[in-house]
Structure 1
């Protein structure tokens, strides 16, 4: 790529190095041609009317790719399931979700793309809840042209990664609630878990189809978890998650499922428990903070469950970075640092 001055009639196929302004006295002043525009035969007459007899242009080498074409190419590389790309504007291509769901970003592949010369790609944070039509990523190249081998390297990164940016739609899960606590079971205090959990489940397209209030009795809790799991896609067990003598919920969960992680590096949510039945039905143990704190670890983990992901021990451990809630008043979640590590 090199810059040179050419006659207007010889400029077809070259790229403008600068904006060209159109002035109509008393009416308007604005951009007639933008920097990076590829000159066509149809442009010649207008350029002459604008008083342009010569242009400063870029003469593309054989392996140069125009910024708009490069932007389109990068958009296709980034866009995975349920993602569509816009038309380029000054090489920038925006990506939008086509469904309500959970944004999934292959962070390693995203970083690899940005190590390539002249390539820019950015996204919303991984695991952001997004709506249909919401912008989730943007990509472009920085110069007016880019070498073709750079785009080949970008395509190699995509092929090795599989998908880089995708959106997992939320599944209409049937949820079962097993709410523990002798004081609630006997009616000594009013339950506060059910409305909170129901709202979080329904917000992501699920439905609460099973509710049982049980005392702090390991065998009773165990039987109700099994009953809920028989008819539901996910079971949430609330209360009794600490280490008091009456807190038997973790033992009951462990007796009917495989515990992936008990305890989390998220505050609030330290006594959280994630487990799976033999048929992979998730069983989630929710500590007391789940009924009074506006956001907890449940708000970070449950959307992934609702999107069909299986939670691993490593997934919970990685929440440590960004896992501290600032307890802002008023709460700004999800537009804050919580869960954004």
Structure 2
């Protein structure tokens, strides 16, 4: 890439190094040609009318790619399922969600792209809930032209990594609830879990297909989990998750499902439990904070379950970075640091 001064008639096929302004006295003053514009034969007459006899341009080498072409290429490299790509503006291309769902970012591949010279790519945080039409990522190159070899390297990253930015639609999950606690079962206190959990399930396109109340009895809790699992995709078991003598919920879950992780590095939500039955039905143990805290670990994990992702032990451990809720007087979640490690 070289910058040089050329006659207007010799500028066809070159790239402008600067904006060119058009002034109509008493009417307007604005940009007629923008920096980075590729000169065509149709531009020559207008440039002459603007009083331009010479231009400062970029002379492209055979391996050079114009910024807009590079932006389009990078947009295609980034985009996966349920992602739409905009037209370029000064090489920047934006990516938008084509459906409601959960944003999935291959973070390692995104980091690899950004190690390439002249390449910029940024996204919303991985596992952000997004709505159709929402901007989720942007990419561009920094110079007016970029070497084609850089784009080839970007292509290799995509080939090896697969999809880098995608939107996973929420599934219409049928959720079962097993609400434990002798005091609730006997009607001594009002249940506060059901309305909270129902809202979270329905917000992500699911429905509540089964609800049962049981005392702090391991065998009864076990049987109700099995009853719910027979007709549901996920079973939410609330209460009795601590170490009190009456808290037997973890044992009941462990008797019917494989426990992936009991205890989490998220506050609120330390006594959270994630398990799966043999048929992959998710069983989630929800501690008491789930009924009174505005957001908990459930708000970080359940959306991933709702798109069909199987939660691993390391997924929960990784939540430690960003897993502390600030307990703001006015909650701004999800527009805050919680879960954004």
Q: TM-score range by the shorter chain?
A: over 0.9
User: Residues of 1 paired with 2:147 and 2:75: CA distance?
Assistant: 17
Give the C-alpha shift of residue 84 in structure 1: 1.1
Deviations along 1:100-126, one digit per CA (max 9) or x if unpaired, are 000000001000000000000000000
Q: Mark the runs of 5 or more structure 1 residues left unpaired by the alignment.
A: none
Q: Secondary structure at the match of 2:317?
A: helix
RMSD: 0.3
State the partner residue of 1:10. Answer: 10
State the partner residue of 1:247. Answer: 247
User: Residues of 1 paired with 2:149 and 2:90: CA distance?
Assistant: 21
User: Residues of 2 paired with 1:18 and 1:54: CA distance?
Assistant: 12
Give the C-alpha shift of residue 329 in structure 1: 1.2
State the partner residue of 1:48. Answer: 48
State the partner residue of 1:282. Answer: 282
Indicate yes or no: 2:303 matched with 1:298. no
Give the C-alpha shift of residue 50 in structure 1: 0.4
Give the C-alpha shift of residue 269 in structure 1: 0.1
State the partner residue of 2:169. Answer: 169
Indicate yes or no: 2:73 matched with 1:73. yes
User: Residues of 2 paired with 1:124 and 1:270: CA distance?
Assistant: 26
State the partner residue of 2:137. Answer: 137
Indicate yes or no: 2:159 matched with 1:152. no
Give the C-alpha shift of residue 289 in structure 1: 0.1
State the partner residue of 1:273. Answer: 273
Deviations along 1:174-232, one digit per CA (max 9) or x if unpaired, are 00000000000000000000000000000000000100011000000000000000000
Indicate yes or no: 2:106 matched with 1:102. no
User: Residues of 2 paired with 1:196 and 1:84: CA distance?
Assistant: 34
User: Residues of 2 paired with 1:57 and 1:136: CA distance?
Assistant: 34
Q: Secondary structure at the match of 1:256?
A: coil
Indicate yes or no: 2:221 matched with 1:218. no
State the partner residue of 2:178. Answer: 178
Q: After the TM superposition, list the runs of 4 or more consecutive aligned residues in structure 1 that deviate by more than 4 angstroms.
A: none
Indicate yes or no: 2:338 matched with 1:338. yes
User: Residues of 1 paired with 2:29 and 2:250: CA distance?
Assistant: 71
User: Residues of 1 paired with 2:257 and 2:221: CA distance?
Assistant: 13
Q: Secondary structure at the match of 1:30?
A: strand
Deviations along 1:33-55, one digit per CA (max 9) or x if unpaired, are 00000001110111001000110
- Number of residue-to-residue matches in the alignment: 341
TM-score, with structure 2 as normaliser: 1.00
User: Residues of 2 paired with 1:109 and 1:337: CA distance?
Assistant: 23
User: Residues of 2 paired with 1:49 and 1:216: CA distance?
Assistant: 86
State the partner residue of 1:229. Answer: 229
Indicate yes or no: 2:203 matched with 1:203. yes
Q: Secondary structure at the match of 1:75?
A: helix
Q: Secondary structure at the match of 1:231?
A: coil
